[in-house]
Structure 1
Amino acid sequence: MYRQVLDPVAGSLAWSSLVAAIPLLTLFVLLGILRMTAWLAALISLAVALVVAIVVYPMPAGPAFLAASEGAAFGFFPILWIVINAIWIYNMTVATGHFDVLRRSFARVSDDQRLQGVIIAFSFGALLEALAGFGTPVAITSVMLIALGFRPIKAAAVALVANTAPVAFGALAVPITTLATVTGLPLHDLSSMVGRQTPVLGVFVPLALVFIIDGRRGLRQTWPAALVCGVVFALAQFATSNYVGAPLTDIVAALLSAGAMVLFLRVWHPAESYVEGTGVRTTTAGAAGAAGAERAGGSTTTMERPARPPAGGAGNGGERDSGAEVFRAYAPYLIIIAVFALAQIPAIKDALTSVTKTFNWPGLHIQSSSGKPSTLSQFKFDWLDAAGTLLIIAGLLTIPVIGIRPARALRAYLATYHQLATAIVTVMAVLALAYVMNASGQTATLGTWMAGAGGVFALISPILGWLGVAVTGSDTSSNSLFGALQVVAANKAGLSATLLAAANSSGGVLGKMISPQNLAIAAAAVGMTGREGDLFRRVLVWSLVFVAVMCLLVYLQSTAVLGWMVP
């Protein structure tokens, strides 16, 4: 039995925290400064974490390596199990040509890539996050953006930044339900509180996306549509999380924001239509006037622009698809929604969970610093109820609908493992690192040290969640790590436990874009394996800016200024 020690360095929590941070600093330096490939950086950082656990913390080598093995197993199941099967469904649609139909359908909403990026990466990505989470939206939407003509690094960056506001309620609100479990706080209170924090992000993320795509000009020309999308998403997320239920929050917000964009673009268009690498089309009439002239059968004067490259050749002109083809293109995602919805019916859910096995990882026995048995060594193998398994079921149902031969579907499945090979190594290594830090006490050392800030802790509370997601790649895992600690810190400082627990989840979503796990998935999806460091530097500033905004919001909510927002 290993009992955690939080201050192994000279009995000082501060000095111990500096040492405990070494594995994380190693990971970020290797990725962001030395530009090392993610799988190698993750393995080196894992080795550093093991050394710190064994040499600095009094953790024997056996339990340390067992903790690493449990983390690697968790990295594959359930996390990679979701991503692999989601990408498999996508790969089948590519093989049959139905993905091209879907791409053309999205493109017909607008031929402006700035708006396409918002619809696909933000709204459609939020729907994927609501259903599966764990990197699935980043993997699928980044490839969709490439098909519309985006450069790979820009497509990946847009997908990563977009995967923020929906994350707290992702995978049918698993992060929130996990937070309620580990803190003992009412689920509805936590859902309501998070629903009064992340919608603020939802308003600004679409604006950030158009800035990433086309800079200040893009923001100046497309802010009305981006703002409509963000505001509708934020209002829907707030209303659903507070008055309907956490699991449906992102589904409702995603569908309503996409619908609002489609309707708004029927009456408004930007003055210039942006297509990367081909220049811009400029209308001499106003944007709304141009749309009206087109509907009236008139025309507007435009500057000629070079033809769009084949990769982005899904415009309002060109090839038209039949209604049946469009339906089959959307069918895989409709099937996914139906399968996940049916899985929530109590009788079906009970049947799926009846075969779930929860067991202690063999040979791993851990006590917290207070002497209580730790749940870190418990492994939940919900093989039938897992989101990845539901995606396999959806994939099997998709096969006859899109008309792909079973043998070809099997080849696509095997090819998916080959495509994600380095991402698989990266994710398993990062989760192994996280489990070693958790089991040895390194993570608890960092959290406890930060929690000693007293009343000021409200200002830095979201950073703890941000740190947890940056390491594990999962808001669910971050809530498991730090949820209870946030409550303890809140009680010591006389702050709202509901506020700080929710801040852990809301701040955590902003660490998603810099998580090595997500960076590896994005890089593999767009063919940039080995350049995860480039992606890291491209999105780091956005992560820091947004987490600073969240810190300020939570701090104000802890005072009389915005205290009325706390349920």
Structure 2
Amino acid sequence: MDGVQAALAASPIALVLLLMVVGRWSAARAGAAGLAAAALLAPTLFDLGDGLPGGTVAGFAGVLAEGLFTSMTILWILWPALALYEVQRESGALDTIRNGLRGLSERSGIQVLLVGWFLSLFLEGAAGFGTPVALTAPLLVGLGVAPVQAVVLSLLGHAVGVSFGALGTPVLAQVALTGLDPMALAWRAALLHTLLGGLMMFFFHRAQPAGGEPAWAAVAAAAFLLPSLALAWLLGPELPTLGSALVGGVFFALLVRRQAPPRNAASGAPALLRALWPYLLLVLLVIATRALPGVSSALGSIALEWRWHERFSGRMAWLVHPGTLLFIALVLGARLQGAGLRALHGPLGRSARRLVPVTAALVAMLCLSRLMVHAGMIDAIQAAAVRGVGHWWPLVAPAVGALGSFVTGSATASNVLFTSLQAQTAQALGLSTVTIVAAQNFGAGVGNIVCPHNIVAGAATVGLAGQEGQVLRRTLLPCLAYLLLGGALLMAWTAGG
């Protein structure tokens, strides 16, 4: 009976995948179908309304409230990101950036690596929470990459850094839950990514337009992955992604210039600096609000939050939220580029209108995820997996992390959801707790590339609303291959003690 219940609990997720990948449905339609299926199951076979004064009705209301609130926090990132792209396009700044990259190298493959790999990873390390895809996908389109390819490249490009995104937030959440050593967690997750990061770069290279350069792709992968492992080993979880993207990106750019010195590269430096102002400001704001002692905690304590029936809640630290920082960078960057505030009215209005169809997809997917969590459907899937897998658990531990990211849209949220269970399972099976918890973080990172609402957000920035299935079909295989090989590595690792 438990196996049947677990299969029924998994059926909404299976339905969403089937409709998007095989049926080519939009995320909004597939999410609505999955939500309807879950809504039929939650009050009958699961415990959505148990213990609530209002019963099932209160449960559905709480799920809807959480879904709407989380959608709002994501839309607050997408709106200024879209507007920034519009402003940069209208002002000619995107053309200037494209010409600047051509000044560094005329080869499109090099340009795609700089933006889709290093810039995506840097933004993941600095801000996380959807910022890399929202910003780099439009830039890739500006470089001549097709919209679907641009979103796929942005998703694949930041994947190996998600485990240490937003200055190590996913690991720090695990430390808070388990009390495990952050250094031990960090280097284990980084080692898994270092050993398998070349596979992600292989898929990244395959997703590039004609003109991708395999030798330079290998150099780019090593330039990030090796420093990432060193930083995780020596310093812990805060800097493996941010620091490695910066160090590796600078090394890569210098190597490119040395191999093929650009002609007249310095002549457009002032114009390039002006075009980059919004992005430079964003980086400075992120570092100031994340890394300066006392600033992060002070600003992060000012939040929009709510709680209902002790089971449903939401919190948005709006002063340090990536959307707020994007909005400030948009306004100040436009001023530094010589544009007044009135020049932002058009881009902001057009961006808001583009988000109307996106909102439906986000709400459907997020309500589905919150419904499955609160009804105990995720717990049912997890419990059945533990019983059925036993000592083969290391093989599937990364997949559990990816499932959490698929459902919640966040590696940090996945870690909050599943870290304690991973630790308890490891202890019950006599496995290394710190290794299995690190595997959870490893899987949670790669799960971001198939998360429906991440795909919805990325597709929205390049005008692909309703075509998200095209992106998922191209990221699903890399995700599955990465998880399978990661699980195999973990089996060998734990077998060796």
Pick from 164, 170, 175: which aligns with 1:175? 170
Where does 1:97-176 land on structure 2 (aligned, <5 Å)? 97-176=92-171
Q: Which residue of 2 aligns with 1:273?
A: none
**Superposed displacement of residue 324, structure 1:** 1.6
Paired residue secondary structure (2:25): coil
Question: What is residue 421 of structure 1 aligned with on the other side?
Answer: 356
1:258 to 241, 249, 252: 249
Q: Does the alignment pair 1:432 with 2:367? A: yes
Q: Does 2:359 align with 1:412?
A: no
Question: Where in structure 2 are the equivalents of 1:42-81 lying within 5 Å?
Answer: 42-60=31-49, 61-81=56-76
Matches within 5 A, 1:58-457: 58-60=47-49, 61-213=56-208, 218=212, 222-268=213-259, 291=260, 322-344=268-290, 345-356=292-303, 358-360=305-307, 362=308, 364-366=309-311, 377-452=312-387, 453-457=389-393
Measured after TM superposition, the shift of residue 246 of structure 1 is 2.2
Provide Cα deviations, 1:379-426, integer angstroms capped at 9, x if missing partner.
Answer: 223222323223323333223112221012233223222223222322
Q: 1:157, 1:535 within 8 Å by CA — same for their partners in 2?
A: yes
Aligned counterpart in structure 2 of residue 39 of structure 1, from 28, 45, 58: 28
TM-score by length of 1: 0.81
* Percent identical residues: 27
**Which amino acid letter does the alignment assign opposite residue 81 of structure 2?**
A
Deviations 1:136-179 (A, max 9, x none): 22232222222222222222222222231011111222222222
Q: Taking structure 1 as reference, are residues 41 and 328 closer, same or farther at Cα in structure 2, changes over 3 Å only?
A: same
- 1:320 Cα deviation from its structure 2 partner: 8.7
Give the secondary-structure state (helix, strand or coil) at the position aligned to 2:239: helix
Q: Write the distance in 2 (CA, Å) between the matches of 1:227 and 1:101.
A: 28
In 2: Cα distance, 1:499 partner to 1:338 partner: 34
Match of 1:16 in 2: 5
Which segment drifts farther, 75-84 or 500-509? 75-84
Which residue number corresponds to residue 284 of structure 1? none
Structure 2 contact 27–361 (Cα < 8 Å) conserved: yes
Distance 1:201 1:80 in 2: 32
Paired residues, what number? 489
Unaligned segments of structure 2, at least 5 residues: 50-55
Residues 262-312 of structure 1, C-alpha deviations (whole Å, 9 max, x = no match):
2232344xxxxxxxxxxxxxxxxxxxxxx5xxx6xxxxxxxxxxxxxxxxx
Once the two structures are TM-superposed, the CA of residue 68 in structure 1 deviates from its matched residue by: 2.0
> Which amino acid in structure 2 is aligned with residue 412 of structure 1?
P
Cα-to-partner distance string for 1:530-561 (whole Å, 9 max, x where unaligned): 2211222122211211111211122222121x
Change over 3 Å in CA distance of 1:557–1:422 after alignment to 2: farther
Moved more, 461-470 or 189-198: 189-198
Say what the alpha-carbon RMSD is for the aligned residues: 2.3
Greater share of helix residues, 1 or 2? 2
The Cα of 1:359 is off from its aligned counterpart by 4.0
Distance change in 2, residues 1:503/1:319 (3 Å):
closer
Deviation at 1:332, TM superposition (A): 1.5
What is the alpha-carbon distance in structure 1 between the residues aligned to residue 123 and residue 171 of structure 2?
Answer: 17
Asked whether the 8 Å contact 2:20–2:26 carries over to 1, the reply is yes
Superposed displacement of residue 515, structure 1: 1.5
Alpha-carbon distance between aligned partners in 2 of 1:320 and 1:74, rounded to the nearest angstrom = 47
| Residue identity opposite 2:314 in structure 1 | F
* Counterparts of 2:77 and 2:268, CA distance in 1: 32
**Structure 2 residue corresponding to 1:27, chosen from 16, 34, 51:** 16
Which amino acid in the other structure matches residue 183 of structure 2?
A: H
For structure 1, which segment, 332-341 or 484-493, has the greater mean C-alpha deviation from structure 2 after superposition? Answer: 332-341
CA distance in 2, matches of 1:111, 1:177: 41
AA paired with 1:175? P
User: Structure 2 residue aligned with 1:477, among 413, 418, 440?
Assistant: 413
Q: CA deviation at 1:38?
A: 1.0
Measure, in 2, the Cα distance between the counterparts of 1:225 and 1:250: 20
Find the aligned partners of 1:206 and 1:198 in 2 and give their Cα distance.
Answer: 11
Shift of residue 471, structure 1, vs aligned partner? 2.2
What amino acid does structure 1 have at the position aligned with 2:76?
W
Question: Residue 29 and residue 175 in structure 1: after superposition, are their counterparts in 2 closer, same or farther (change >3 A)?
Answer: same
Secondary structure in 2 aligned to 1:59?
Answer: coil
Query: Is 1:537 equivalent to 2:476 in the alignment?
Result: no
With over 3 angstroms needed to count, the CA separation of the structure-2 counterparts of 1:358 and 1:535, relative to structure 1, is closer
SS of corresponding position for 1:489: helix
Corresponding residue SS for 2:384: helix
Shift of residue 457, structure 1, vs aligned partner: 0.3
CA contact (8 A) 1:87 1:416 kept: yes
Distance 1:425 1:242 in 2: 43
Q: Which amino acid aligns with 1:347?
A: G
Distance across 2 between alignment mates of 1:175 and 1:539? 22
Please give the per-residue CA displacement for 1:464-505, whole angstroms capped at 9, x wherever unaligned: 011111222211121111111101111111111111111111
Structure 1: state its 5+ residue gaps.
1-11, 269-290, 296-315, 367-376
User: 1:256, 1:224 → 2: CA distance?
Assistant: 19
Aligned in 2, Cα 1:263/1:474: closer, same or farther, shift over 3 Å? same
CA contact (8 A) 2:173 2:412 kept: yes
Hey, what's the Cα distance between the residues in 2 that align with 1:55 and 1:83?
Answer: 37
Q: Is the 8 A contact 1:115 1:210 kept in 2?
A: no
Cα displacement (A) at 1:321: 6.0
> Aligned in 2, Cα 1:214/1:397: closer, same or farther, shift over 3 Å?
closer
Query: Could you give the per-residue CA deviations for residues 221-245 of structure 1, whole angstroms, max 9, x where no partner exists?
Result: x332111111120111112222224
Cα distance change, pair 14–183 in 1 and its aligned pair in 2 (3 A): farther
Displacement of 1:81: 2.2
- The residue that corresponds to 1:503 in the other structure is 439
Residue range with higher mean Cα deviation, 487-496 or 234-243: 234-243
After superposition, the Cα gap between the structure-2 partners of 1:358 and 1:37, relative to the gap in structure 1 and judged at 3 Å, is: closer
CA contact (8 A) 1:130 1:166 kept: yes
Specify the structure having the higher radius of gyration (Cα): 1
Query: Quick one: structure 1 residues 143 and 383, their matched pair in 2 at CA, closer, same or farther if it must change by over 3 Å?
Result: closer
Encode CA deviations 1:504-528: one digit per residue, 9 max, x unaligned: 1111222222211122122222222
- Distance, in Å, in 1 between the alignment partners of 2:73 and 2:240 is 22
Q: Structure 1 stretch 248-257 or stretch 56-65: which is displaced more?
A: 56-65
For residues 485 and 94 of structure 1, do their structure 2 counterparts lie closer, same or farther at Cα, with a shift above 3 Å needed? same
Amino acid at match of 1:122: W
